[in-house]
Structure 1
Amino acid sequence: MTDVRTDFLPGFGGARLAVHRMGEGRPVLLLHGLFSSAQVNWIKFGHAQKLVDAGFEAIMPDLRAHGQSEGPHDPAAYPADVLVRDALVLVEQLRLTDYDLGGFSLGSRTAVRSVLAGLAPRRLILGGMGIEGLGNWARRSAFFVDAIDRYDTIKHGDPAFVARSFMRTQKVDLVAARLLLQSVDDTPPEALAGVNMSTLVVCGVDDHDNGSAPALADALPNACYVEIPGTHMSSVTEKAMGDAMAAFLSE
């Protein structure tokens, strides 16, 4: 496997963000999902390596309050759309001008909102996301806030058990995660007209966590949909994810 290079850069407001890089070539900025990390979403199951093998450089930050990045406990460090603000700051610091952008789940939400905030990647990848998932964040975040608040009492059979187990595996900072969950904003369907670059919507056949991925592809001005095996949790472990990403970016 290609070596991973890790730097630490200041995000919005100075929070220290870990940025992992693999390969040389055209940059692809990849944003991971909630409670995950660059290592889990992009490196562990070979997706970044497939991009490297196709001639790209994978640039993979750990989002604020995730992985090796800082998770401040000061509420002031989590203004509205703070992950979008971090993405804009990183693109500027990395001097990315001709690049591609991708995300999975929360990373996809962040990627869409970053484009609407001014980022202009050549191509966009939205993994594990449906059209309903871009809006109604209050309902989805409430589920995770509840899981954090009941963290020590959740038992097998509780709908929050899987989320709690994943948070435990990833050693999530519960205070920082709770603050972050309250900083994410919605994207209404009518705003998608502003996301007009060529876009890949890729989603597991049994992944319905964020609504309809085909409907999201239909709502975007210039998108295609690729279905891969898996649920929301398992689709990122499928080699088909990396294959679809590399094929799309290499077109």
Structure 2
Amino acid sequence: MRDLAARTFTPDSPADAPPVLLVHGFGSDGRADWIETGMVDALTAVGRSVIVPDLPGHGDSPAPASAGEATAPAVAAALVAILDRAGAETFDAVGYSLGARIAWELPSAAPGRMERAVLGGLSPVEPFTAVDIDALRRAVDEGTECDDPFTGAIAAMVRAQGDRAAGLALCVEGLRATPFEGGPWNAKVLPVFVVGENDELTRGIGRLAEELGEAELVTVPGAHHEVPGGPHWRVAVLDALSR
């Protein structure tokens, strides 16, 4: 995979803490999820260095050459390469939605290096397994309408990205091939889960938190796409990373 685009932000008065890797959601990018929402400013204001990548096919990053480059482990490995280039021996991670899904892979991709993690908007089941990949390809390549409503919704989201649509379809295919299954958490500290009170996509996440050994679950106002722009999300992230 070609190198992913990433921005680094350095505070005026650095704290004695590792850099924070911010991982955005599907169909978005680092600027929309983290810079424009004020999260980067909030973190640098408390002395944290921040690394903001764009995932494959998103923002300024190149599209994956194949679905294999867009599997969750492959994307996590590409994020570790960004951390390596930044000289980050250890790091904290914050991910939202797809970003949380990818952040889940980071303890395995970078053993012993992750300190704290905040996983926002994480679905306890892999939503992309319900996508009809053949129908999605036809929708992107030929403009064909999808019979399945969920595949149609994903197709509409992908096609709205214009020239990036084909790359995003490959991302869906790769993520579908490596569905989220939970399991043990291999980092030093249990993650903090943050969900919107009206977010149907995260229904059942409490069971995953319990299975990990009473990982903390924080509920904030908003639906799935409202949480990242809200002040309660920023407060929850700052609180979790300051412990």
Place the TM-score, normalised by the shorter chain, in its bin: 0.7 to 0.9
1:183 lines up with 2:174 in the alignment: yes
**Deviation (angstroms), 1:169:** 5.3
8 A Cα contact 2:158 2:168, kept in partner: no
Mapping 1:1-251, distance limit 5 Å: 13=1, 15-24=2-11, 25=14, 26=17, 27-74=19-66, 77-78=69-70, 81-119=73-111, 120-133=113-126, 137-139=128-130, 142=131, 146-147=135-136, 149-150=138-139, 152=143, 163=154, 166-167=157-158, 170-171=161-162, 173-184=164-175, 185-189=178-182, 191-221=183-213, 223-251=215-243
Contact between 2:119 and 2:192, CA under 8 Å: does it hold in 1? yes
CA positional deviation for 1:220: 2.1
Residue 129 of structure 1 aligns with an amino acid whose one-letter code is: L
What are structure 2's unaligned runs of at least 5 residues?
A: none
1:236, distance to aligned residue in structure 2 (A):
1.3
How many residues are paired up? 231
**Contact residue 220 and residue 233 of structure 2 kept, 8 A:** yes
More strand by share: 1
How far apart, CA to CA, are the structure 2 residues paired with 1:57 and 1:29?
Answer: 9
- Farther off after superposition, 117-126 or 26-35: 117-126
- Structure 1 71/51 Cα, relative in aligned 2: closer, same or farther at 3 Å? same
For 1:181, the aligned partner's letter is V
Shift of 1:105: 1.1
Deviation of 1:187 (Å): 3.9
**Distance in 2 (alpha carbons) for counterparts of 1:75 and 1:246:** 35
Mapped contact 1:196–1:222 kept (Cα < 8 A): no
Question: 8 Å contact 1:104–1:127 — kept in the other structure?
Answer: yes
Q: Please list the CA deviations of residues 146-177 of structure 1 after superposition, one character each: whole Å capped at 9, or x if unmatched.
A: 4564354559xx55666455445554612111
Identity of aligned residues (%): 23
Aligned with 2:49: secondary structure? strand
Aligned-pair distance for 1:38?
Answer: 0.3
The TM-score with structure 2 as length reference comes to: 0.81
The CA distance in 2 between the partners of 1:172 and 1:200, in whole Å, is 36
- Tell me if structure 1 keeps the 8 A contact 2:64–2:167: yes
Q: Summarize the Cα distance change of 1:197–1:172 in structure 2 as closer, same or farther, 3 Å threshold.
A: farther
CA distance in 1, matches of 2:216, 2:72: 30
Say if 1:169 and 1:57 are closer, same or farther in 2 by CA, change over 3 A.
Answer: farther
Aligned-pair CA distance for 1:199: 1.6
Q: TM-score, normalised by structure 1?
A: 0.79
Deviates more, 1:73-82 or 1:118-127: 73-82
SS of equivalent residue, structure 1 residue 198: coil
Q: Is the contact made by 2:195 and 2:219 (CA closer than 8 Å) also made in structure 1?
A: yes
Partner AA of 1:150 in structure 2: A
